[in-house]
Structure 1
Amino acid sequence: MRTTNAARLLAAGAALTALTLLAGCGGSGDGGGAHRADEPVVSKAAVPPPPVKPQQARTLPGMPPVLDPADLYAADRPGRLSPVVKDFPSLVYVPNTNSDTVSVIDPRTYRIVRTLKVGRQPQHVVPSWDLKTLWVNNDRGNSLTPIDPRTGEAGKPVAVHDPYNLYFTPDGKYAVVMASMDRQLVFRDAHTMKTVKAVPVTCFGVNHADFSADGRYFVVSCEFSGELLKVDTAAMKVVAHQKLPLRGAMPQDVKISPDGKLFYIADMAANGMWILNGDTFAKPTFLATGKGAHGLYVSRDSRVMYISNRGEGTISLYDFARHRLTGKWRLPGGGSPDMGGVSADGKVLWLSGRYNSEVYALDTGTGRLLARIKVGSGPHGLAVYPQPGRYSLGHTGIFR
């Protein structure tokens, strides 16, 4: 009797197992199916979610998109010339402030090939936003002289009052005149140069600037009162200002870091540069570089910034990644390195010799002086042109 009952129980258990297996093979409400014993079982929790597309930065409307948020100078790589400028002859344009001329140098021969007569006290040669024109800032002449970079010839001057320096908004709509003596930032139509809005400032000597990564604001240095301004680009309004924490400070050139997080401001009285968080606009830190720190120029690989120390005839090298100075080049026989730019191939740093009526060409790999070229009196903001980049933000060539 026990044996019969046991057999019946075994048979019932086998039938139940068979039904369970059939149910498993037939599919389920969640779409599952059978698998072979040698197939791995993948948990749904282990399946990675689809990649999330990174959101684009909220930039100034009309501004070209940022190529690489980690490197604002990504468009400035060696030889990466815009179709607009690729056929322009390579030349160096040197405004001689005291001679009222522009010396035009052939960078291959290191010889002056042309001397242009311009307005009174030319300070900087500035590439336009669309890269098609070079503007000579005739500060005391109250005019801008256009140069056609296809021919190297000067055109008819345009009346603009007190144009010490010149910048362009990232959307290409406006030129911003640094009217130093007028104590104004003057927004003008980028093509006609007609005034759109004149913004009074409380500081003295507005002179240099650079724009934030998103183009929504820019930082301006005030040379004669030792102050910095933060300006809303779209509103055309000063939204913050601060006094540098050093009596007698004289801030000069301004450049943003490749990652867009910091601004560097050269200071010729403090003999170094201030390092500022533009977003918070908090009190900056300071790094000594050399006597009379004046110009700031980024290498073609975005790794190094060249700092011209006008008062001691040297150029300091600043490493962005390591946040420190890594070397210093000294001009043989001395000199007064001021403003300039880097050649299109990145191999030569060109700087004006403000107090020596000369221009310097230095090898960016070694710091060796390649040439010392005599020019007019008081050479200042020279422009190397053309240079890589999609558009110009002004000065002697800030390209994005």
Structure 2
Amino acid sequence: MTGDGRRDTKLMRTLSLPEVVLSGIGVILGAGIYALIGEAAATAGNALWLSFVFSALIASFTGFSYMELSSMFPRASAEYEYTKHSFGSNLAFMTGIMVILSGIIGASTVALGFSGYFRGIFDLPVLLISSVLLLLLSLLLFAGIRQSAMVAIVFTLIEAGGLVGIILIGLPYIGSVDYFYMPLGMAGVFQAAALIFFAYQGFEEIVKLSEETKDPERTIPLGLIIALSVTILLYVLVSVTVVSISGWEAVAGSENPFAMIAGEVFDGGHQVFTLIALFATANTVLLMLLSSSRIIYGMAKEGRLPGFLARVHKRTRTPAYAVFVSGTLSLLFLSFGNIRDVASVTNFTLYFTFTAINASVIVLRFSMPEKRRPFKVPLSFGRLPLMPVMGIAACLFFLFQMDFIILLTGVFLTACAFAGAKYFGVE
């Protein structure tokens, strides 16, 4: 049944473990590592790798929480479903809206990043390029989940190949710099970690494929841990090799540091890595729109958003209206701001969401101790799971590493989500 009470076509379960893993790796790798590593190097210096390690702690702690919750409630509504069972519909609605906003705003921002790379090849207006990209990817999502997954897999292999290429290029330079040099001290490392957490965004999107995945109770947790492990390893290796080649000063603030580095090492390197960056950013936009449309669909299916958003197209078996809304709102946000600021705003929504997710694991251990858990977070003190506690502490710590204006913007978005909960009559 849909949110408005009508029986509707179900999503198609076609995704296997390799497709889930590669889709997850694809959305995690994307624009964050390709576009933000230069900004992060400006504050972390040669200790950039340490910032990636600190960010990985949040991702890992929270990743385990997602694994347990997704094995308990394998639904497309994901965060909404988890927090509803833990804290009730008000916080669940707010969390769901924050997740939707992070995907939509992130997609429009990365589309603008795509335009910047594309203009290096064809000099066309930025808004035109961004709009066409969003429209084409929305049409792909409407066409079918298998088609979208296949494109995501191909793009993922290309962007992952680019990161491996940077690692190989940098291997001869390993040991050439002091990897603990921090121009702003540990404060700069933490600031960079708070920013580049955007680069880890995506591991949580895997759970939104639960209703389109075979054997989701097993496949989703396993796919999540594999995807997260691979990307953490790649990020740390890339951050070490990038500063090894030319030092942190050379890449600090660069919008396309990989292309710049490759251009110095071999002829045509700049062009090759610009092309790879196009695939990376396009892939991130595709998977952000995918995840946003699925949680819109899931919340509508639960009756917390207008019922028509839960309708599934009979031929393509995709949530057509949810895809349309995601794409349209992303178009409206195209002029929202630069990638650093919007990445930080997106991070605020993620810290809010991840705090709620980790807290949900703790609450459910006490309120639903008999509930079947195909995957269970390790390390507990009695019924109290320790990793979610550390995840909450890490989220709150990095939340207050952000600029004051970002915190104000995040509070405003939270207030809007709360107002939405009241408007839709959530009790």
Give the structure-2-normalised TM-score.
Answer: 0.20
**Which of the pair has more CA radius of gyration?**
1
Tell me which protein shows more helix as a share of its residues.
Answer: 2
Tell me which protein shows more strand as a share of its residues.
Answer: 1
Give the structure-1-normalised TM-score.
Answer: 0.21
With CA pairs under 8 Å and 6+ residues apart, which has the higher RCO, 1 or 2? 2
